Amino acid sequence: MAYTDELDAVIACEQRLRRQIAMRLAEESGMAPGHGLSEEALAAADAAIEAWRTEGEEQQDLAAFRPIGPLQELLAEHQSIIERIEDMRDRRLG
C-alpha cells in the first residue's frame, strides 16, 4: 500500500473549497454555470478568503446573530481548513 500523507488530503480539500468559493463568486456576479474557472475568478476567491481572514473576530461574531449565506459558509469552512493545516504543520515542527 502506498504511503499517503494526511496533510496532502487536507490541502486538497482546501483547494477544492477555494474553487467552490470562486464558482460561488462567479455565480453571484452573474456568470453562467458551466464556464471554467478563470484566473480572475480564482483571484477574486483569494481576495474574498483574505478579506474573511482579516475581517476580525468581531465582524464574524456579529454574523452569529443573523443567517449567513452560502458564500460565507464556504469562507468559514475554508478558514477552518486553513487552521487545521497550520496546526498539522506546527505539530510536525514541534
pLDDT digits (tens, 9 = 90+) for 2-11: 777 899 999 9
* 42, part of any domain: yes
Among 48, 68, 70, 71, residue whose Cα is nearest residue 60: 68
Domain of 67? 6-93
CB neighbour list of residue 92: distance below 8 Å, 6 or more residues apart: 7
For the chain, what is the domain count? 1
Question: In 10 A of CB 82, how many CB atoms?
Answer: 15
* 31, part of any domain: yes
* 1, part of any domain: no
CB neighbour list of residue 22: distance below 8 Å, 6 or more residues apart: 37, 41, 42, 44, 45
Q: What's the pLDDT at 2?
A: 74
Does 41 score more than 80 pLDDT?
A: yes
d(CA 93, CA 52): 27
* 84, part of any domain: yes
* 81, part of any domain: yes
